[in-house]
Amino acid sequence: MRDNGRVTDWASYWRAGDRPLEAMHAHFERHVYHRHSHETYSFGVTESGAQAFTCRGAARTSAAGMVMAFNPDDPHDGQAALPAGFTYRMVHIGPQLIADVLRDTADRPTGLPLFAEPVLDDTVLADTLHHLHGTLGESRLAQDEAVHAAVRALVRRGSTRPARTRYLPVEVKRARDLLDAACAEDLRADDLAEAAGCSRFALHRAFVAAYGLAPSDYQRQLRLRAARRLLVDGHTPAEAAASAGFADQSHLTRWFKRYYGLTPGRFLTANMPQ
């Protein structure tokens, strides 16, 4: 994005081809993230400026040198807290990769870790994430060593306890199961309420309380995740949009950027040159 010839927003992405590991390096002044969550653990370090976001019912700010730590399915949004924007690096690590690393650790915790604080003021973790980011263009061995070191440091210094299984009211579970099974279909609020066995209002309130997202946002996120998988499997953005339930490619592109900070085309050519 440009303002009087000056680039205000940019983003570079990197994606491993054989394991759940992705990374982003970006600067945003105008971009506003729609409330969303990731299937992965997501760890970031703010390099300059400050990012404001809401997570776990509170307003948060990550300033230069601070670390962000999101658990899988932790809803959050994000935007610049200062006119000059913010520059940050983010690493997304799948739960299975986290589990594999911890399985090889002598002092491994029981179960997957939980990060209770979304913002950590920890220079050691910030340096560790910077190092991990720097190895992503190097050999697989260097990447593996950096991932293992980063996960161990993050768990040791930032996690509090194993993640607990989320309790879901039966009404929410029924609605979620319908959304999961038919995310590309044009479901109505009445369809969800009928599946849940309660009123639309009661379901909406219970769903937001359980997930931090409205059912429509949850459905859109499922569609975006499906589109990402289709893109990785070699489908074009137009094909991914149609299969995942979006009206057209432009509809997918608009929401893809609001959730992930880059377009589907940029995601496809991910190589993070910066």
DSSP for 108-167? PPSSSEE---SEE--HHHHHHHHHHHHHTTS-HHHHHHHHHHHHHHHHHHH--EEPPPPP
- If pLDDT is split at 50, 70 and 90, which confidence band does 274 have? very low
Query: 32 and 14 in contact (C-beta within 8 Å)?
Result: no
Q: Tokens standing for 9?
A: 């927003």
- Positive/negative CA dihedral, 129, 131, 135, 141: negative
- Positive/negative CA dihedral, 131, 98, 15, 225: negative
- If pLDDT is split at 50, 70 and 90, which confidence band does 270 have? confident
CA dist., res. 35 & res. 57, Å (int):
12
- Full-model pTM: 0.89
Residue-wise pLDDT tens digits, 54-93: 999 899 999 999 999 999 999 999 999 999 999 999 999 9
DSSP code at position 66: -
Phi and psi at 255, nearest 5°, equal -75, -35
- If pLDDT is split at 50, 70 and 90, which confidence band does 273 have? very low
CA dist., res. 221 & res. 164, Å (int):
23
Position 272 scores a pLDDT of: 53
Position 5 scores a pLDDT of: 63
Share of the chain above pLDDT 70, in %: 92
- If pLDDT is split at 50, 70 and 90, which confidence band does 167 have? confident
Residue-wise pLDDT tens digits, 31-44: 999 999 999 999 99
Mean pLDDT for 43-49 is 97
Residue-wise pLDDT tens digits, 92-140: 999 999 999 998 765 555 678 999 899 999 999 999 999 999 999 899 9
Position 103 scores a pLDDT of: 86
Q: Residues near 98 by Cβ (< 8 Å), separated by ≥ 6?
A: 41, 112, 113, 151
Residue-wise pLDDT tens digits, 171-226: 999 999 999 999 999 999 999 999 999 999 999 999 999 999 999 999 999 999 99
- If pLDDT is split at 50, 70 and 90, which confidence band does 165 have? low
Where do runs of H (alpha helix) occur along the chain?
95-103, 123-135, 140-158, 170-181, 189-196, 200-211, 215-232, 237-244, 249-260, 264-268
Share of the chain above pLDDT 90, in %: 82
Position 110 scores a pLDDT of: 63
Query: 88 and 46 in contact (C-beta within 8 Å)?
Result: yes
Phi and psi at 173, nearest 5°, equal -65, -40
DSSP code at position 33: E
Comparing C-alpha atoms, which of 219, 211, 214 is closest to residue 201?
214
Position 40 scores a pLDDT of: 97
Torsion of CA 41, 158, 12, 60, to 10 degrees: 100
Position 189 scores a pLDDT of: 95
Angle in degrees, CA 90, 94, 98, rounded to 5: 100
CA dist., res. 69 & res. 117, Å (int):
7
